[in-house]
């Protein structure tokens, strides 16, 4: 189990006022903070992250960064890659005012690497505990809600259009009565099937089946389940 210590936190938001607001609870908790609201439109998430890693120990990042700036990545991509960074992860928390909107699709795509997504409307008491939760997971203390287990997944239909193409599925190990949306692209990559060939097929994947909400689910090691024998 690795030990990660934090002293400095970068707060990333294309709105400087929102970024400054998010620093207050971190300062109260004893962290050194800096705000970042300007982005190089030529940089991708990997290049931006490499630059941040030289100066900060952790990140708090808004999801939609392109409201007032030109940027090539979302906060979800950046946070996921920061938490998964080889060698020295940067514990990172995602902030979003779009949790209950269509923007959830672009968060869902990166959800495995995002231990916590916080609603932007009320952060005062949650932001420090969310950073602590993330730090625990990256140190090896994975919560029950974030542990993944093998489960069958039935594909009911697809939604190929929209911000992030998705599949409507039943995750048997999570809730067999409630269909949910999962990202379509990982299914296509894992199965090699065209989207129109997916409805009615079964997958197997590792899913965090103890998650409280569908938006918290993530999927990994997806494979196409073998056809059931006739009869």
Within a domain: residue 1?
Answer: no
Burial of 231 (0-12, 13-18, 19+ CB in 10 A): exposed
Q: Per-residue pLDDT tens for 153-162?
A: 999 999 988 7
Q: What domain range includes position 196?
A: 146-224
pLDDT at residue 227, as a whole number: 72
Check whether 167 has a pLDDT greater than 60. Answer: yes
Do the domain assignments include residue 24?
yes
Q: Is the pLDDT of residue 1 over 50?
A: no
Residue 120 or 37, more confident: 37
Indicate whether 66 and 155 sit together in one domain.
no
CA-nearest of 126, 144, 111, 133 to 215 is 111
- The percent of residues above 90 in pLDDT, for the chain, comes to 73
pLDDT exceeds cutoff 80 at 12:
yes
Asked whether residue 25 falls in the same domain as residue 90, the answer is yes
Residues 99, 75, single domain; the answer is yes
Residues 155 and 183 in one domain: yes
Averaged over 188-208, what is the pLDDT? 96
Q: Is residue 3 part of a domain?
A: no
Tens of pLDDT, residue by residue over 67-122, are 677 888 999 999 999 999 988 899 999 998 765 554 567 899 999 999 999 988 76
In a domain, 65, yes or no: yes
- Both 38 and 128 in one domain: the answer is yes
Last residue of a domain, which of 94, 115, 138?
A: 138
Residue 190 class from Cβ within 10 Å (0-12 exposed, 13-18 middle, 19+ buried)?
Answer: middle
φ/ψ of residue 3, rounded to 5: -115, 125
39 lies in some domain: yes
What's residue 214's pLDDT? Answer: 92
Looking at the domain assignment, is residue 50 inside a domain?
Answer: yes
Q: Is residue 229 part of a domain?
A: no
Here the CATH number for the domain that contains residue 120 is: 3.40.50.2300
Same domain, 88 and 194: no
Domain total for the chain?
Answer: 2
Are residues 131 and 171 located together in one domain of the fold? no
Q: What is the tally of helices (H) and strands (E) in the chain? A: 6, 10
Q: Give Dmax (Cα) for the chain.
A: 65
Q: Does residue 29 fall inside a structural domain?
A: yes
Contacts of 164 (CB under 8 A, 6+ apart): 105, 106, 108, 109, 183, 184, 185
């Amino acid at each position: 189990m690795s030990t990660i210590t934090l002293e400095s936190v970068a707060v990333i938001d294309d709105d400087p006022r929102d970024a400054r607001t998010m620093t207050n609870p971190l300062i109260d908790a004893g962290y050194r903070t800096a705000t970042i609201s300007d982005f190089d439109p030529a940089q991708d998430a990997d290049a931006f992250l490499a630059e941040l890693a030289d100066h900060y120990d952790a990140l708090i990042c808004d999801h939609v960064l392109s409201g007032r700036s030109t940027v090539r990545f979302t906060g979800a991509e950046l946070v996921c890659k920061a938490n998964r960074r080889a060698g020295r992860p940067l514990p990172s928390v995602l902030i979003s005012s779009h949790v209950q909107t269509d923007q959830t699709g672009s968060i869902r795509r990166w959800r495995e690497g995002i231990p916590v997504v916080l609603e932007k409307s009320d952060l005062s008491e949650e932001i420090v505990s969310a950073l602590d939760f993330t730090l625990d997971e990256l140190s090896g203390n994975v919560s029950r809600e974030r542990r993944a287990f093998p489960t069958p997944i039935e594909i009911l239909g697809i939604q190929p259009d929209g911000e992030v193409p998705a599949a409507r599925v039943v995750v048997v190990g999570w809730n067999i009565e409630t269909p949910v949306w999962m990202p379509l692209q990982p299914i296509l990559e894992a199965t090699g099937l065209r989207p129109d060939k997916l409805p009615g097929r079964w997958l197997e994947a590792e899913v965090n089946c103890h998650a409280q909400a569908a938006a918290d689910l993530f999927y990994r090691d997806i494979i196409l389940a073998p056809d059931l024998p006739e009869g």
